[in-house]
Structure formats: C-alpha cells, structure tokens
Structure 1
Amino acid sequence: MADIDYDLVVVGGGVLGTFHAYHAMKKGLKVALLEKDSMPKSATVRNFGQVVPSGMNTKWQEYGRKSLKIYKKIHAKFNITVRQEGSIYLASNEEEVQLIEELREINRINEYTSILFTKAECLSRYPGLNENYVKAGLFFPEEITVEPRTMIGRIHKYLQKKGLSIFYQSKVIECYALGNEVTTQLANGRMLLSSKVIICNGSDFKTLYPQLFATSDLEISKLQMMQTKPQENYKIPGSVLTGLSIRRYEAFAECPSYLKIKSKELLESPEKKWGVHILFKQAMDGSVILGDSHEYADAENIDDLGFDLNMEIDNLMIKKAKEIFELPTYEINQRWFGMYSQCKNSDIFERTIDRNIHIVTGIGGKGMTGSAGFAKHNINQIFNI
C-alpha cells in the first residue's frame, strides 16, 4: 500500500536536501525527507563547519548571507552549534594584501561588513600566529562556525518537532511520475506518493538516473582533512583562512588584480598539484581542524579517487600549517576525507524530469554556506511561489 500523500518528498538528508525541506515546510507544505543512511554521512558532516559568504562570488554571497540569518534564527530557538566569532583571511605577502584590500572595497559596495586588520592586530587576536607569515588580515564579523558532525542531526530534530516526516535508512531506488503525482519507491518495498520530488543526492550517482549523471559535466572533489588533539588553554576564534585560500576562493576572482596575480603562480608546485589551501577552525572540544586538499574525477569515475588517505598530502598540509600557526600540539587525533560534487561549467546542477521530479546537486564547496539561502529561492521557483 502507498503511504499518505505529501506535497513534497526530498531525497537526501544532507544540508542541501534538509534546507529544501525546511523552506517547503515554512510555506505550509507537507514534507517527507528521505535519508539512505542512519544519519547523513557524506559532505555535510565531512567538512570544517565554516559558514563563510565572504569566500563566494557576488551571486552566492547573497545566498550565503541569507543562510547566516537562517542559521542564527534556528539557533535562537534550538541549539544547532552556531558560534558567531567571525572569519579572517590572512595575507602573507603584498599581492595578497592587495587582494584583501580590493575585496574589502567590493564588500563595502555590497554592504557586507568587513574590517581590515593590521599585522599587529592579527597577531594580538590570533595567538600562535607566526609574525613572519602575516602581513594583514580581512575580518568578517558576521560569519559563523558550526559543528558539522552534529549540526545536521540537530536541525533534523528541530524540524521533526515542527512536523517534518524523516525516514532514515530509506534508500530510494526509483522515482516515476503518474499524472500529477510522483511515486517514490524505496528499497525496503515502501512507496511514497507526492506532488513533487526534489533529489539532492550529493555525489551518489549510481542509483538514480546514472546515465544522466554519466553524460553530465559533474565532477567529484576529494578533500583531505585532519583534527588535532584538544589544545589545552588555547583558543583560535572563528574561521582562519590563509594566503592560499585568498588565491583560490572565487570571491577574490572578482578583484581587479586577481588574474594578474594568478598568472605569476608556479603551476608545478605541490600546493597546485594537490589543490591545497590551509584552513584552521577550532572545534568545541578544543581540537583544531586543519586542511584541506582537492583531487578530482568525473562523476562516472568516482571510484578512481579511491578510499585511502594520501599521507604525502597530509604531511604537506601539516608542514604549511606549522609555517602559519604555532599550536601547542600538532599531534593528530583523526584523519578523514570528504567528497562533494560540482559542475565544471556552472555553479550548480539542476534538471527537471517529467515536470515534477527535480534534481538539485553539484553545489560544490558552497553547500554548508549557500544551501540554506539557495534552497529558499529554489523552493519558490519549483512551487511557483
């Protein structure tokens, strides 16, 4: 027997799917959220937990700024691990100083608060920062961090209290349209009927519509990260992004000097080879998460990325991190990798099948920051609100 009807079934309980469910509920719709595992286990929980609209281009910064408001609004009612301690980009040379000065001007025009810190101010605010590394910093006080391994579970609990139906360990094997309804078939034999389905499948391209994804421009990025043991009597406030981030993040591509500065970079460096840029974020237990790296494969060749950690990459990241911060300990407690999907030629992958089945994936590294704001826009589009 088919289950009761829903206005919307969302396939995928990660951050992108969850916020589609959230905004649909806010519009008064009856929503079911399906997650194939006991809890989300992919990119949503395998990241730094940095919500940094400052790193995005103008279009996605707007979504990210809306996301900040949404995170803070939910946290005011239900603890989802939000900490507002700001984000800083640390410039290590005069070229990077020029880029952060240009980004400050862009954000002034966009009316997004940023503060230029002197070298002395950076050293005062961030203990252990190497004075030979930092030249200046650009600080964004409105930005937040969350604990990625627990945040999404807490949002789910909050939404369940608001009436969201969540089905865990519910792998979807088929969606098909019947007139104005969509049948969602689960591997356990259950069926759900809904007016619409939104599929936010992350990097799972082998189950639903595999041929569509195999011929798309989607690619997978594999990122290595690690976490130190807790740092006793030591605190790094907020998110710390460094010179390599300045040279990589898309926000800086809008700076007038960006292309000229990028053209001078050595293409054969280990940092280029592995897509390394160094980030620091202290978790609530006092440990420091650092990374990360980027290896790529087309969606149909995801298995080529393997399931091992490349210790050459980890050792490079630790070496670069030690050049920036002198932490009380660099003893590593955990190492892992995450995988996210992104498009080569667009900012997100969207396809509509049979009018009422909508695929939304390939958000790339923008997921934690951009999903909440983008999902609001997308729900309005899909339901013509």
Structure 2
Amino acid sequence: MKNNFDLVVIGGGILGAFHAFHALNLGFKVALVEKDKAPQSATTRNFGQVVPSGMNTKWQAYGRESLKIYKEIQAKFDISIRNNGSVYLASNEEEVQLIEELHEINKGNDYSSSMLSKKECLEKYPGLRSDYVQAGLFFPDEVTVEPRVMIHRLLEFLEREKGLEIFRNQTVINCEKSGEKVLVHMALGSMLEASKVVICNGKDFKMLYPEIFAQSDLEVSKLQMLQTKPQENYQLPGSVLTGLSIRRYEAFYECPSFAEIKKKEAADSLEKKWGVHILFKQAMDGSVILGDSHQYADASDIDDLGYGLDMDIDDFMIQEAKKIIDLPTYEIAHRWYGMYAQCKNQDIFQKTIDENIHIVTGIGGKGMTGSAGFAHENVKQIFNK
C-alpha cells in the first residue's frame, strides 16, 4: 500500500522532525503529518539558540549530540546553523562565582568552555557596557539558528534527501489499533497505516486524547520577544546570555553556591513576576533579537495568558537590555510571542497507548537544543534497536 509506513509522525515541529530524521536513518519508511501548510508554533517562535551549556547534566548530553547532528546536516544542506558560540555575562561577584563553578563542572563533563576577563568581554562584544560586565563564560561549540527558517529547510532536506513523505494541511482526528498496525485517520477522509505512531504536536494532542491531556501535568509558557531594526555597521557574535540567565538556567542549579545565591533574591521583582532574563542574538539581516519573558498557565487554562503582547513587559526588557549593551539603535521592528508546552514534574511528557502509539511532547524550552539528541535515543527505544 502506498500509505503503509513503518512510522507516522504527527506534528512537524522540531521534535517530530527529528523523530522522522532518525527513523529514516535506520532505513524505515516514514510519513509526517502537519496540520498546517508549514509548522508555525513553538519551533518557529523561539529565540533560536542551541545552548547545551544551559541544561542539566542529562539534557546537556542530548544537547551536545544535537550540536553534532545540526552541524552534520548543515555541512550537506543549509538549515541556517551558525557556529558562533555562546557567552554568559556576569554582572556581579555572585554571578562570577556561578560561571566559575559552571566552568569547573564542564571541565569534568569534557565540554569546552573558557573564562573571559572583563577586558576580553569588552573587546569581543561591541557595545557591551563596562559598568555591567565583570566576567564571562564562553562556549565555543554552540550554535544559533534562524527559527523562522530552520524547520522549513530541515523538512525540505528530509523530503528531498531522505525520502520523507509529508502530508501538509492534514489534521489527524483518530488513531486506532488494527491488529499489529495503527490506522491514522485524517479530517479530509484519507488514512495512513503504520507500524508505529509518534505524536509530537504539543498541546494539540488534547484533540486526540482529551482524557490523557486532562490528567497530564502539562503547562504552557508564553514568551515575549522583540527584534530591532537592522543595526548599521555592527556585529554581535553568537548568543549573549546575561546575569538573569545565569540566575535562571537549570545548568546553574548544579553549581554549589546556586541555592544560597537564589535565597537572597527579591521575591517581588519584575524579573521574577514576568520570568524575564535578557538575551541578545543578531539575526542574519543585522537586526538584534531581544528576549525573553515567561508567563505560565496550566495547559487547560491557556486562554488565561491572553492573545496579545504586554507592552509593560516589552518596555521592561528594553530598559534592562540598555543597561547591558549599547546598540546603535533600539528601534523595534517586530514584536511577537511564542507558546510552548512543558511538564511541571518531569522533563518531557511521554505516554504509550496500545503498544504502538507514542505521545512525546511537552519538551518545553529544551526543544531547539535537545530534540535532535533526545529523538535519536527515543526512536531506538520505540523500534527496539
């Protein structure tokens, strides 16, 4: 049968795409079903950085494997990967202590990083304010991507070079076991048959399995981001993460002094209220992307997060960004928000139904960095390889 596959992946975002990628590499016949003409949710609405350095030990391993996979694909097909490194900029003695501790942890992990003095930071990052930075921790192997471009090129690569069959503008309405197979029914009346099905469509899996969704611990995070107009005669290398990132990213939770430092923070600050940590990344057109904020609601209460942008949050992020880097212009060309599903009590949501239907979602902010590595291991488990 033309529509008989070893694997059908539901959801064309980064997590679904890399499940398809690894299954194709194992020689399986794979189809991917995307409800829209092209993916347009969390995968295309994030900051576009691949930073294993910000993850805990388990997910750093997935992230480091993801780096290798990204670079291997980029060598064959341009998916917008740029190997320009990431830096964490410390603004005070406590943050310097944390990046020094993370540096030592990564020595033990055999993951390359180097401490930068204040002078080295100022020389490497144009416009960086001397009254802000005290030191930096640089990770040379990390990359940036263009999220509005990358997933489309990745799917094109999988379709053209790997033989992936993509069914676009198709909404799956039911998956049912039929003997040793799974029948995947789509809203327009067509059907696919598969040995295995992987569902990677974020919070949208509630349409297929509302009871499982209702019983899950999924929550949704809403992130606001901004993009300046192109900067004239200005180049900012790589991803720039700052003191608020140092105080937020889970990698730093493993630092010996982290808990004591967190205790000293004001609980009623605006950065706590809005989950803000300041990031900078220059896009290919010369503009600089600024972010980001984090507001949370249970997945069932997603409407509580609203449909618009909170301009007070945007104004606060710009105000804080100006304390860190003097850009030629802070005139904003674009503002947007993204939403992603994550779990409250586990690092990713996984549920197997009828042996051959696997829900894999809720990867949260780890998606761009960890999906490629995680999917490699998960596909092997699904197919008992």
TM-score bracket for this pair, using the shorter chain length: over 0.9
Residue 117 (structure 1) aligns with:
116
How far apart, in 1, do the equivalents of 2:340 and 2:281 lie?
20
1:175 aligns to what SS in structure 2?
strand
How far apart, in 1, do the equivalents of 2:178 and 2:15 lie?
26
Quote the offset at 1:4 in angstroms. 2.2
Give matches, 1:1-385, under 5 Å.
4-161=3-160, 162-385=162-385
Is the Cα contact below 8 Å between 2:206 and 2:212 reproduced in 1? no
TM-score (norm 1): 0.99
CA offset digits 1:63-89 (Å, max 9, x no partner): 000000000000000011111010000
How far apart, in 1, do the equivalents of 2:363 and 2:299 lie?
14
Is the Cα contact below 8 Å between 1:205 and 1:300 reproduced in 2? no
Is the Cα contact below 8 Å between 1:123 and 1:129 reproduced in 2? yes
**Percent of aligned pairs with the same amino acid:** 69
CA offset digits 1:305-325 (Å, max 9, x no partner): 111100010000000000001
How far apart, in 2, do the equivalents of 1:128 and 1:167 lie?
47
Question: In the alignment, residue 202 of structure 1 is paired with which amino acid?
Answer: G
User: Structure 1 stretches (4+) deviating beyond 6 angstroms?
Assistant: none
How far apart, in 1, do the equivalents of 2:34 and 2:157 lie?
16
1:97 aligns to what SS in structure 2?
helix
Quote the offset at 1:265 in angstroms. 0.5
Structure 1 stretch 121-130 or stretch 172-181: which is displaced more? Answer: 172-181
Aligned residues: 384
Is the Cα contact below 8 Å between 1:130 and 1:325 reproduced in 2? yes
Is the Cα contact below 8 Å between 1:116 and 1:137 reproduced in 2? yes
Quote the offset at 1:117 in angstroms. 0.1
CA offset digits 1:81-120 (Å, max 9, x no partner): 1110100000000000000000000000000000000000
How far apart, in 2, do the equivalents of 1:211 and 1:283 lie?
41
Is the Cα contact below 8 Å between 1:3 and 1:191 reproduced in 2? no
How far apart, in 2, do the equivalents of 1:294 and 1:38 lie?
28
Quote the offset at 1:167 in angstroms. 1.0
How far apart, in 1, do the equivalents of 2:318 and 2:142 lie?
26
Quote the offset at 1:205 in angstroms. 4.3
How far apart, in 2, do the equivalents of 1:210 and 1:227 lie?
37
Listed as ranges, the gaps of 5+ residues in structure 1 are: none
Is the Cα contact below 8 Å between 2:3 and 2:191 reproduced in 1? no
Quote the offset at 1:215 in angstroms. 1.6
How far apart, in 2, do the equivalents of 1:39 and 1:290 lie?
25
Quote the offset at 1:201 in angstroms. 1.1
How far apart, in 1, do the equivalents of 2:34 and 2:361 lie?
15
CA offset digits 1:245-281 (Å, max 9, x no partner): 0000000000000000001100000000000000000
Is the Cα contact below 8 Å between 2:8 and 2:33 reproduced in 1? yes
TM-score (norm 2): 0.99
Is the Cα contact below 8 Å between 2:35 and 2:170 reproduced in 1? yes
Is the Cα contact below 8 Å between 1:3 and 1:193 reproduced in 2? no
Listed as ranges, the gaps of 5+ residues in structure 2 are: none
Question: In the alignment, residue 90 of structure 1 is paired with which amino acid?
Answer: L
Question: In the alignment, residue 371 of structure 2 is paired with which amino acid?
Answer: S
Question: In the alignment, residue 52 of structure 2 is paired with which amino acid?
Answer: P
Quote the offset at 1:203 in angstroms. 2.5
Structure 1 stretch 175-184 or stretch 200-209: which is displaced more? Answer: 200-209
How far apart, in 2, do the equivalents of 1:70 and 1:347 lie?
21
How far apart, in 1, do the equivalents of 2:78 and 2:208 lie?
34
1:203 aligns to what SS in structure 2?
helix
Quote the offset at 1:202 in angstroms. 1.5
Question: In the alignment, residue 12 of structure 2 is paired with which amino acid?
Answer: G
Quote the offset at 1:176 in angstroms. 1.0
